Structure 1
Amino acid sequence: MAMRFELVSPERRLASKDVRAVRIPGADGDLAAMEGHTPVVTSLRPGVLVIETEDGGEERFAVTGGFAEIGPDSTTVLAERALPASDVTQEVYDDWVADARGQAKDAPQDTIDSATKLVEDMVAMGGHIGLDPKQPNL
């Protein structure tokens, strides 16, 4: 059983293929999308999105946020930023974390908790793909 999957960032389309499943870092928790899934739209948190290919392999992508639209026959992820996990260098990751810290620093008082969570999720994502989070001061 396969479903159509699309992963798009503002810069480019990163994936467009038939897949067995997609593991998505949802803002309210991780979820798996497979053929026959009940339709749902969810926001993403920074994390690692994993495509389970039809041949039993996996492809991993680092995403910094965005939205996923899951349906019974297809799933589309519109990511704020996304790269194959293997392409995320320490320099790219450090830039992403610095951007998240800047957003947290400039966040209005009533959104400081969600901005801090963004930084924590970004740091955790780096650990999941083998990069050094440098234990930031939150």
Structure 2
Amino acid sequence: MSTFQLEFVSPEKLLLSRPVEMAVIPAAEGEMGVLPGHSPMIVALRGGVITVTEAGQVSERLFVAGGFAEVTPSRVTILADEATPVAQLSKADAERRVAKCEKAYDEAAGEATPEKRDAAMARLLAARAMLAAAEAA
């Protein structure tokens, strides 16, 4: 099967750089499957799990809290705000993050600027996606 180059970068380090068959990414508009030859685009990422397929099997599952992905026919570059292998997620940590984000959202609800509310909601949704991934792991 044909492949494309996947580059996955977090603020701390390069997490992955190798040819893969397919990647499913949590685009802001919904889950997006990427195969070799995909149309070029840049998409925002929401909190969710990136699934990488190699040799016909899922080889990696990484949680991202957000970021961007640049897709070309031969390469996908993911710039993640935060990335953690799903196997390393802690349900207790995710529950604490959800509680913290819910409190921050409640405080932002009284703010006059919609941008602050939207940012707080995005963090809350990412925390809930982290909890769902931790529970499913």
Match for residue 114 of structure 2? Answer: 110
Match for residue 5 of structure 2? Answer: 4
Match for residue 134 of structure 2? Answer: 129
Higher alpha-carbon deviation: 94-103 or 82-91: 94-103
SS of 1:38's equivalent in the other structure is: coil
Stretches of 4+ aligned residues off by more than 6 angstroms: none
How far is the alpha carbon of 1:13 from its aligned partner? 1.2
Change (3 A) 1:100 1:11: farther
How far is the alpha carbon of 1:53 from its aligned partner? 1.2
How far is the alpha carbon of 1:82 from its aligned partner? 0.1
How far is the alpha carbon of 1:62 from its aligned partner? 0.4
How far is the alpha carbon of 1:122 from its aligned partner? 2.5
SS of 1:124's equivalent in the other structure is: helix
Match for residue 78 of structure 2? Answer: 77
Residues 71-118 of structure 1 show CA distances to partners (whole Å, capped at 9, x for unaligned) of: 100101000000111111235434543564465334743132453254
Identity, in percent, stands at 31
SS of 2:38's equivalent in the other structure is: coil
Change (3 A) 1:80 1:42: same
Size of the alignment, in residue pairs? 131
SS of 1:93's equivalent in the other structure is: helix
Match for residue 45 of structure 2? Answer: 44
- Contact between 2:25 and 2:49, CA under 8 Å: does it hold in 1? yes
**Gapped runs of 5+ residues in structure 2?**
none
What TM-score comes out, normalization by structure 2 length? 0.81
Change (3 A) 1:77 1:95: farther
Letter of the structure 2 residue corresponding to residue 126 of structure 1: L
Match for residue 136 of structure 1? Answer: none
**Gapped runs of 5+ residues in structure 1?**
132-138
Query: Structure 1 residue 60 and structure 2 residue 30: aligned?
Result: no
Match for residue 124 of structure 2? Answer: 119
Aligned mates of 1:29, 1:49 — CA distance in 2: 12
Aligned mates of 1:68, 1:119 — CA distance in 2: 21
What TM-score comes out, normalization by structure 1 length? 0.81
Letter of the structure 1 residue corresponding to residue 127 of structure 2: M
